[in-house]
A and B are shown apart, each in its own frame.
Chain A
C-alpha cells in the first residue's frame, strides 16, 4: 500500500499584485497590504504623506490605478490596454480628457466673465443648467452635465465672493511719480503686479488720498519714511502687509487709521484686492525673503511732528 504517491500536492498560487476589493478609493493600499502581508493602513498613510509632502503620492496612486489590475479581473490593467491600443480604452481616455479640458476652459471663461461684470449672466446660465438637470433627472438623467455646470458655477462664485474685478488690464505696471501733482487718485489693475513708488515725492503736510485696486495679483506701494500711512483695505483672499503689520486669510478687512501730527504729511490708502496681496513698504520687497513684517518700515512718522 502506497499512500504517499497518491497524495496530490497543492501548489500555492503565485503572489500577484492586484487592487483590492477592500478599498477606500481605488484599492491600491489594500492591494499593497495584501501583497506584502501587512496592514494596508501603513500604505494608505504613506501615500497620503507622500501626497502632502511633495505630491509624489498622487502620481504613484494614479500609476497604480492605471497599471495594477483589479482583484478578480482577468483583463489587463487600463494603462496596459491603453498602450496596446485597445479602442474602447482609447475612446474612454479621449472622452475623459475632452471633458476635463472642456470643463477647465468653461471654468476660466466663467471666472473671466464674472470678473468683467457679467456675473448676472453667468448666474442665470448656472440656474438654467440646474433646472435642465432637474428636468433631465425625470427623463433618465444627465450626469454628464454635472461637471460642466459645476465648472461654470463654482469659479464664478469664487470670483464674486472675492470681489475680483478684471477691469484695468493684465500685466506688470509700475508708476514712479516725482511730485504730488503727478500722483493719480486711483491706480487699477485687473491681473498682475502693480507697483506704485512714491519715495521720490515730497509730500506737503496734510492728507493725500490714494486708491489702489487689483483683481488678482499683487499691489506694492513704496512710501517715503517721513510720511505717516493710514490704511484701509479689503482683501477677498490673500494677504495685506502694511509696514510693520500684516494679516492674511479670506475676507480680510484691514483698517489702520493712523493719526498724524498736523505738520506731518499723511497718506490715506484705500486698497482693494480680490485674490492676492497688498504690500506697503519703505523699500522694494525682496522676492526671495518675501514680506517680513517689521523689516519694511515702522510708520514712526505718525508719532512725531515733521522736522
Chain B
C-alpha cells in the first residue's frame, strides 16, 4: 500500500495563515501592538511561502 503524501501547498498555507490569525488575535487582545512595519513582512512572507510551496510541489509532480 502506497503512503499518502501530504499536499505541501495546503499544508504550508494552513500553517502560515494560522500564524497570521494568531498575530491578529494577539493584537486584538492587546497582547502585542501590531504595526504596518511588522505586518508588511509577515504578509509578504505568507504569500512567498505559499508560492514557494506551490512551485516546489509542481516541480515534484513533473
Contacts and interface: CB of A to CB of B under 8 A. Distances in A.
A156 B17 CA distance: 12
What secondary structure prevails in chain A residues at the interface with B? helix
- Is chain B's interface secondary structure helix, strand, loop, or mixed overall? helix
Contacts of A131: 14, 18
Interface stretch (A17-25, A48-56, A136-144, A210-218): A136-144
Scoring A123, A143, A156 by chain B CB atoms within 10 A of each residue's CB, the highest score goes to A123
Nearest to A110: B24
Interface in A222-256: 236-237, 250-251
Nearest to B27: A160
B6 A137 contact: yes
A78 interface: no
A157 B43 contact: yes
Contact of B10 (A122, A126, A137): A137
B56 interface: no
Contacts of A236: 36
A157 B20 contact: yes
B52 interface: no
B62 interface: no
Contacts of B9: 137, 141, 143, 146
B21 interface: yes
B35 A143 contact: no
Given A141-B7, A251-B36, A149 B17 contact: yes
A125 B24 CA distance: 11
B15 A130 contact: yes
A288 B28 CA distance: 38
B61 to A, nearest CB: 12
Interface of A: 114, 119-120, 122-127, 129-138, 140-143, 145-146, 149-150, 153-154, 156-158, 160-162, 236-237, 250-251
